[in-house]
Amino acid sequence: MERGGTVLQSAPQTARPPSIPRWPLFPRSHNPPRSTGCGVARLRHGRCTPWVAEQLRYCCCLNKKRYLLVHKVVQHSMARVFSSGGPQETNLGSEEMRKDNFLIDCGSDQECVLGGIVALGKFDALHTGHRELVIQASKAGTPFLLSFVGIAEVLGWESRPPIVAQCDRKRVLSSWAPYCGNEVPLEYQVQFSVVRHLTPRQFVEKLSKELKVSGVVAGQNYRFGYKASGDASELVRLCKEYGLAAFIVSPVMDKNQRSYNGAYRSINSSDKGQVSSTRVRHALAMGDVDYVAELLGRKHRLVLSLDKQFYSQKRILVPRSCMLNQPPKDGAYYNCTVLVDDKLIGPASVVIDTENINIELDDESLEAQDITLDHQFIGIEFG
């Protein structure tokens, strides 16, 4: 894989002090609830797509601590926060109250984006191109990802499963720590409906005055603002005006260019050979898990809820309705690795058909029912 990451242009940080301390957005509790590693993403008005519903039902509702939905507060000093112990009340300053319906992932230490360097993008696949943005952010300060949720619902796009299961995103981001000065980047998710109608200037102003970031990193082809009216050069100009550092990074190119007879250009007209989520999705649809691993910089992990499963001695049968992210093409896959709640179980063969995922463990000493008893998720890594 050819490495990108050249910083093409940047705007120096001028109006803001050299470093801004980070502090908790929400007060810490003396006995914080124990995290299970999954987050909750609540959609507005209770509407969600089938795939999002699966995420909420099987994965995200298990731990509501990390994603804190801050409701719009008018003339009140209290806001309801959803934690693992249920709805709670917390004091917020006037600045925080202006974050209208922002969905915040504050991490287990409850520290947010204040003073950090945010990488901007959709971050669906968390592929090597996304990783390069975060690497550049880590070189300039404390790295964060700023991504948007609910885009398909707002724009009326067809519902489709995520490439990375919501409850698996923190594991992937943790694996990037060695590239980021041994610091794990945290993800800050914002409801797309909140920022959809912002002009480019309003968007940058929100980053500066409300989220109080100290800088941004974006790809060369990044578009932002209402109807994607702003480009990378305008981002640099506006960041300079608001005293934010801005770094524009060249794309990571796909060295192998397995275009499958030009299919990528028919899917995405802006494809110029760069690593993209579109390429990852198409490679999964073709069943080319080795190529998927090259694009992601890791093996693809399919996450299954253990809400429903059936056993024989060495076999585990899980309905497709329990999938929390996009699988590869239907077929037989060998040399797979099975994990249960992130605990390594061992090698296995996997067959995906129209109704079920069939997992056959290679180790004859393992009993399928004993492995999955009292656990929540099965992970399958391909290739």
pLDDT in tens, 239-281: 999 999 999 999 999 987 765 545 555 556 567 789 999 999 9
Please tell me the distance from the alpha carbon of residue 182 to that of residue 135, in angstroms, as a whole number: 11
pLDDT band at 140, cuts 50/70/90? very high
- DSSP secondary structure code for residue 358 in this structure: E
User: What would the mean pLDDT of 30-43 be, rounded to a whole number?
Assistant: 36
pLDDT at 80 over 60: no
Q: Which residue has the higher pLDDT, 160 or 106?
A: 160
Confirm if 366 and 345 have CB atoms less than 8 A apart: yes
- Note the pLDDT tens digit of each residue in 183-206: 999 998 888 888 899 999 999 999
Among the listed residues 58, 137, 31, the one whose alpha carbon sits nearest the alpha carbon of residue 318: 58
pLDDT for 115: 81
Confirm if 295 and 280 have CB atoms less than 8 A apart: yes
pLDDT band at 100, cuts 50/70/90? very low
Please tell me the distance from the alpha carbon of residue 163 to that of residue 350, in angstroms, as a whole number: 19
- pTM for the structure as a whole: 0.72
User: What would the mean pLDDT of 164-187 be, rounded to a whole number?
Assistant: 95
Tell me what the pLDDT averaged over the chain comes to.
75
Q: Report the alpha-carbon angle 221-258-351, nearest 5.
A: 115
pLDDT band at 60, cuts 50/70/90? very low
Structure tokens given for 34:
């124990």
Confirm if 170 and 37 have CB atoms less than 8 A apart: yes
Percent residues over pLDDT 90 in the chain = 50
Q: Where are the alpha helices (DSSP H) in 210-313?
A: 232-241, 263-267, 277-286, 289-296
Q: Which amino acid is at 335?
A: N
* SS3 of residue 133 by DSSP: helix
- Alpha-carbon torsion angle 338, 134, 220, 256, nearest 10: -30
Among the listed residues 308, 248, 247, 251, the one whose alpha carbon sits nearest the alpha carbon of residue 276: 251
* SS3 of residue 9 by DSSP: strand
- Note the pLDDT tens digit of each residue in 37-47: 443 333 333 33
Place of tokens 């698996």: 168
- DSSP secondary structure code for residue 181 in this structure: T
pLDDT for 188: 84
Half-sphere exposure of 163 (CA within 13 A, CB side): 25
